[in-house]
Amino acid sequence: MSSFVPLSFEELQRGHCHHMTEDDALAPEEIAAQLQAVPKWQFQSGALRRTFSFGNYYETMAFVNALAWIAHKQDHHPELTVTYNRVAVAFDTHSAKGISQNDFVCAARADAVYGS
């Protein structure tokens, strides 16, 4: 039986990324449970994914810069696809060879920035 307990959005947002190994990869049922805290994200093609929309290029780039700051502080870097008014974000944990709690921490932080 797994000892995994999903964290709330607030707990994820306050969380910090840590070095992960393959032992830290979340199982599919753990990913599904943790997605409830960040419901606008999807687990797709091996990554947590979400597309954010903006009114103009300036807002898009401001969000990208905020994500860059988060990624730098957490030492956990997403794959970004940037267009005029959209940013597609994908998080996965290479060292875990899957999804880890780090991906959810950064997803919650991205959601918090987008909502502010």
Better pLDDT: 116 or 25: 25
**Full-model pTM:** 0.95
Question: pLDDT by residue (tens digit) across 48-94?
Answer: 999 999 999 999 999 999 999 999 999 999 999 999 999 999 999 99
For the chain, the domains span: 41-92+102-116
Specify the CATH number for 41-92+102-116; select among 3.40.190.10, 3.30.420.40, 3.30.1360.20, 2.30.40.10: 3.30.1360.20
Q: In the chain, what's the furthest Cα-to-Cα distance?
A: 48
- 45's torsion region: left (phi>0), alpha (psi -120 to 50) or beta? left
CB 68 within 8 A of CB 109: no
Does pLDDT of 1 surpass 80? no
Report the share of the chain in percent with pLDDT over 90: 97
Q: Indicate if the pLDDT at residue 110 is higher than 90.
A: yes
